[in-house]
């Protein structure tokens, strides 16, 4: 009898030990990554971009507009901000066979009417644009489809890597962010034909929207005057959208606008917009208050701190300097805390057309909202500890180098097909990257620049990450922080 209780005690101690160890191990989120799971064993050697002889191990997307131009590009003399976001009707087929090459002659796994337009800001000016589209039924109503193994939904983004010559920045960082954070948009590579003309490699991406497998929050019932929400900080648009009358805007601490993305236009009422403005402002007021770190009134009551820490690190590592001013998304469940979602790494790692980004220095501590968060030493300590933890795994030099190599190998001949159309962008007179030594003349050079920059950046951060403490300080009102 005594031995039985000794055995039970030993088992319990073992369980407690395992639980104790597990508490200090940060698990990675399970995420399907296309370059490791889809048609990896399928040989792809065909370089033809002609519709009749084309084939690819990647999914193939065919869009037919009946000769209509897809709207959304600025007309001559028109600014991007003056473009009206209108859609046209088109037809889409998606071929995504498993275990064999995809061709335009295959039976499509998805075939549907769509509403489509050009999307983005400065990218609308590029020869290879990105698109926003919605699957619709015969009555023009939104209809959801599972696309390339991603969760069923009606609205999708087709990102066209143009400035990013590696083709992989958004694919890579959405996937890595999805392993680090609670959620990031799912993505898949594909090759696109528009009216039977080859358009190159694209990235099919989930939009930041509410739904199963996307931002999973309590959906608005259309009746109450309170709701879960998604908002986006970006450039002001001339389109008829609803902006928040939030505290930071009122205090003139930001130049961007905060736009309501969810609930959508069909359900959004002035009362709901007012509720979101007040709710978002509660977080902002707590952040700018004298007792911003206090248990009772401080910012921790309003945000998921770990989520904001990860967002800070990911954008700082990649030097994605739009973060916090443009393409910045927040979401909140009606009964939860405010969280961030990553978006748009097209220009990260010094992939700029305006100017060359210095490899040294931090910037996130100067961004709206993060300016005050970085003043809290406890938040800064979380950033530093989490960064060092991630450097041992997902963000290690070996892992990011291997990731780039695997993606490049997976894309294979799709890279060559893509640059049969877009190879002219490597010519010096067409190079958008200004600055000495920044001209890229081949795909291999683009990957080399990307890898070297990222690894060097993280090496610099390893040596200087503690310098973030210099942006923190003890408030003169620290007595309120207990």
- Any residues with CB less than 8 A from the CB of 117 and at least 6 apart, and which? 70, 71, 72, 85, 86, 87, 88, 131, 132, 133
Q: What is the pLDDT of residue 122?
A: 75
Local confidence band at 478 (pLDDT 50, 70, 90 cut-offs): very low
pLDDT, one tens digit per residue, over 422-453 is 999 998 887 766 656 667 899 999 999 999 99
Decide: helix, strand or coil at residue 11.
Answer: helix
Q: Is 188 a residue whose pLDDT tops 80? A: yes
Residue 56 bridge partners (DSSP): 102
Following DSSP, what letter does each residue of 188-207 receive, concatenated? EEEEEEETTEEEEEEEEEE-
Contact 192, 202 (CB under 8 A): yes
pLDDT of residue 79: 74
Q: What is the pLDDT of residue 129?
A: 94
Average pLDDT over residues 324-350: 94
Say whether pLDDT at 297 is over 70: yes
Q: Name the phi and psi angles at 262, rounded to 5.
A: -140, 135
Q: Are 60 and 105 a contacting pair, CB within 8 Å?
A: no
pLDDT of res. 417: 98
Question: Checking DSSP bridges between strand 257-262 and strand 197-206, what pairing results, if any?
Answer: unpaired
Task: Please check the confidence at residue 170 and state whether its pLDDT lies above 80.
Answer: yes
Percentage above 70 pLDDT, the chain: 86
Span of 103-112, 306-315, 357-366, 469-478 with lowest mean pLDDT: 469-478
> Confidence band (pLDDT; 50, 70, 90) for 244?
low
Confidence of residue 11 (pLDDT cuts 50, 70, 90): very low
pLDDT at 433: 64
- Write the CA distances from 253 to 250, 288, 311, integer angstroms: 8, 11, 21
On the question of pLDDT at 80 being above 60, the answer is yes
Predicted confidence at residue 479, as pLDDT, reads 43
Q: Which of 18-32, 42-56, 131-145, 151-165 has the lowest mean pLDDT?
A: 18-32
- Span 390-400, pLDDT tens digits: 999 999 999 99
Domain ranges (residues) in the chain = 50-206, 229-395+463-481
Average pLDDT over residues 302-325: 96
| pLDDT given at position 142 | 94
Torsional class of 252: left (φ above 0), alpha (ψ -120 to 50), beta (otherwise): left
* Percentage above 90 pLDDT, the chain: 68
Least confident of 157-161, 342-346, 347-351: 347-351
Check residue 339 and give left, alpha or beta (phi > 0: left; psi -120 to 50: alpha). Answer: beta
Strand 229-234 with 328-332, pairing: antiparallel
pLDDT of residue 429: 80
Between 226 and 258, the higher pLDDT residue: 226
> Is 90 exceeded by the pLDDT of residue 309?
yes
| Predicted confidence band of residue 3 (pLDDT cuts 50, 70, 90) | very low
Query: Cβ neighbours of residue 472 under 8 Å, at least 6 residues apart?
Result: 374, 375, 376, 377, 379, 380
Q: Tell me the average pLDDT of the chain.
A: 88
Q: Quick one: average pLDDT of 131-142?
A: 94
Q: What is the pLDDT of residue 253?
A: 55
């Amino acid at each position: 009898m005594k031995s039985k209780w000794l055995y039970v005690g030993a088992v319990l101690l073992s369980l407690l030990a395992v639980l104790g160890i597990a508490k200090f191990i940060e698990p990675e989120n399970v995420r399907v990554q296309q370059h490791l799971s889809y048609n990896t064993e399928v040989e792809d050697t065909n370089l033809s971009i002609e519709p009749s002889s084309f084939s690819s191990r990647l999914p193939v997307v065919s869009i037919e507009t009946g000769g209509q131009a897809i709207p959304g590009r600025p007309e001559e003399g028109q600014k991007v901000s003056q473009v009206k976001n209108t859609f046209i009707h088109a037809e889409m087929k998606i071929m995504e066979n498993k275990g064999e090459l995809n061709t335009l002659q295959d039976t499509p796994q998805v075939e549907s009417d769509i509403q489509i337009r050009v999307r983005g800001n400065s990218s609308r000016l590029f020869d290879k644009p990105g698109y926003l589209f919605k699957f619709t039924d015969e009555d023009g109503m939104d209809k959801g489809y599972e696309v390339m193994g991603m969760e069923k939904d009606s609205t999708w983004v087709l990102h066209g890597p143009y400035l990013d010559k590696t083709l992989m920045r958004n694919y890579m960082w959405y996937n890595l962010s999805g392993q680090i954070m609670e959620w990031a948009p799912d993505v898949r590579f594909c090759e696109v034909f528009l009216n039977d003309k080859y358009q190159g490699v694209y990235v099919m991406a989930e939009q930041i929207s509410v739904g199963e497998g996307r931002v999973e929050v309590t959906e608005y019932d259309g009746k109450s005057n309170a709701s879960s929400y998604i908002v986006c900080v970006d450039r002001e648009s001339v389109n008829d959208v609803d902006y928040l009358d939030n505290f930071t805007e009122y205090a003139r601490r930001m130049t961007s606008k905060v736009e309501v993305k969810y609930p959508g236009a069909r359900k959004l009422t002035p009362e709901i917009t007012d509720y979101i403005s007040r709710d978002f402002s509660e977080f902002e007021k707590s952040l700018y208050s004298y007792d911003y770190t206090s248990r009772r009134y401080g910012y921790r009551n309003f945000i998921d701190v770990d989520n904001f820490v990860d967002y800070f690190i990911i954008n700082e590592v990649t030097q994605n300097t739009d973060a916090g001013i443009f393409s910045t998304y927040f979401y909140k469940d009606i009964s939860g805390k405010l969280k961030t979602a990553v978006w748009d790494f097209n220009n990260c790692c010094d992939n700029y057309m305006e100017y060359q980004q210095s490899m040294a220095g931090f910037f996130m501590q100067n961004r709206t909202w993060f300016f005050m968060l970085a003043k809290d030493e406890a938040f800064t300590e979380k950033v530093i500890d989490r960064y060092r933890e991630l450097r041992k795994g997902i963000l290690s030099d070996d892992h990011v180098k291997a990731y780039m190599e695997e993606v490049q190998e997976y894309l294979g001949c799709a890279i060559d097909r893509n640059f049969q159309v877009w190879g002219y962008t490597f010519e010096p007179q067409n190079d958008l990257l200004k600055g000495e030594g920044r001209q890229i003349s081949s795909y291999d050079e683009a990957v080399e620049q990307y890898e070297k920059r990222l690894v060097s950046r993280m090496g610099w951060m390893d040596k200087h990450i503690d310098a973030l403490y210099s942006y923190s300080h003890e408030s003169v009102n620290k007595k309120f922080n207990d």
